[in-house]
Chain A
C-alpha cells in the first residue's frame, strides 16, 4: 500500500487518537507541573465609629482576574505537586525515615499518608488478585472441560456473566448481598455470633471483599481463554503420558500446564494491567474510607467541590508511569515477534 493511500485510510482513526488520547496526555503532564494561581489577597482596614478599626483580608477580584488572564496555565511549580503532602510527600517520608529505626514502624507511619495508602492497596490488589484469578480460571476450565457437551454451553453462558456485567453494577450486586442486612452479610453475622459484625467496619475485611469481587469478575476471562486452550491440547501427548504411567495429576502438571503456559502469561499481563486500574468496585462498595486506589484518588480529586485538576493530573502521570512499567514486558515481546516476523 502506498504511503498516500495508507494516510487516507488511517487519517480518521489516527486523528481521533491524536486529539483525544495523545493531546490529553500532553495536557495532563502540563497541568501537573503548573498550579492554579492563588487568589490575590488585600488587607482592608475598615473603621467604624465607637467599635474601632478592624483589618479584613479580602480577595482582590480584579488583580486575581488579571493574573489568571496573563498566564492561564497557572504558575510553574515543576515537580512541586508530585512531592507535596498529597502525593509522594518527600518531606514527610524523610521525617518518618529519620524517626523510625524499624521497618515495621516506618511502614505503619507511611500508611498514614493518603497517597501511599492508595498505592499500597492498588499494589496488593494487583498482585493478590492476579495469581488467584489465574488459578481459579484454570481449575474451572479443567472442571468444565470434563463435563458433558450440552452442559458446557450452559456453564460458559453463566460463567461469562460476572465478567460481562458493568463493573459498577456487578460490585453493587455483591455489595447489597454482603451488606450486614443482606443475605451473605447476615449469614456471616450469624457465623461470627456477633450481632454488630459488619464487613464495612473493618479495613481488612473490606480489602478481602474487594479482592473477592476482583477475582469473581475476572476469573471468567481466565476461564474462557484456558478453556479455548484446552480444546487444542494434543491428544497424543496425553496418551503418551498415560502409557508411560503418569497419574492424572502428573498429566495436568507436565502436559496440560506447559501447553497452556503462553496463555497463562497472556492472561497474567492483561490482568496485571486491568487490576492496576481498579476503580469501580471501590465506588460500588462505598469503600472509600478503607481503601483507595490510584484511580479513585484521581476521581476524588476531580469530583470534589473544588476540582483539584493539578493534583489529579499529577496522580494520573504517576499512574501512567506505573502502567508503563507493567506494560514493558509486553512491549519487549511484541518487538521480538516483530523482529522475528521480518
Chain B
C-alpha cells in the first residue's frame, strides 16, 4: 500500500500528469466524436417550437435553443465538426510547413532567406485577422475556413522544421550520408525528416487546441459552418441574444470548446515534456 503511494507521488513528481490527463480527455473527446450517433438523444437539427428555451431537464440534459433543438445533441454533433476541421487543418499545415522548412532549410542560400522572410510576414499577422481577410475573399463555409487557417498555420511548422534542419545539416552523419552517395532528397526524407518528426508531432498536438479556438471564433463571426449544422462557435453566436434568460444556449458549447482546447493543450505540453526534457522544469532538485 505504502509502496503504491510512493509510486503515485513519484509519478506526480515527474509531471507526467499533464500527459495522462490530457491524453484521457482527448480519448474521451475522440470517443464522443466517433460514438456521436449513439450518444445523441434527439436529432440535432430537428426543430420543436413547442419546446423552445427549455432549461436543462431529464429529456433535454443541456436544455433547448430558440428553435427547440436539443443543445446536448447539437454539442455532441458539433464535436465532429470541430475535431475534423481542426485535424484537417493541423495535418495539412504540418505537411506543407514541414516540407517547405526541410527543403529550404537544407538548401540554404538566397531562396531560403526569401522564403523565411515570407514566413516572417505571415507570422506577423494576427491569425484571426488574416483568416477573416481570406474568408472574405473566398466566401464563407467550412472548406474556406480550413484554407484560411492553413494559410497562416503552415508557417509555424516551416519555421520549426527549418530551425531544426539548420542545426542538423552540419552533423557528421549527414556528411557521412552525403559521402555515401545519398542525393539531396534522400538526405531530406531519410535522415532529416525522422529527426524532425518528434518536434513536429509535439507542435501539432499543441496546435490543435488553438485551432479549435480559431475555428470557433471564426464561426462565431459567421464564417465557418453555416446553419443549421451545429458548430460550437455558431451556437454561441446564436445564444448571445438570449443570454439573459437562457444562458445554457451559449454556456454548453462554450464549455465544450474550453474542454477540448484545454485537453489538447495538456496533451501537447505533456508530450513536449516527455520528448524534450530540456523544457521540463526541474521538480526534484536533489
On whether the two chains bind one another, the answer is no
A residues with a Cβ closer than 8 A to B are: none
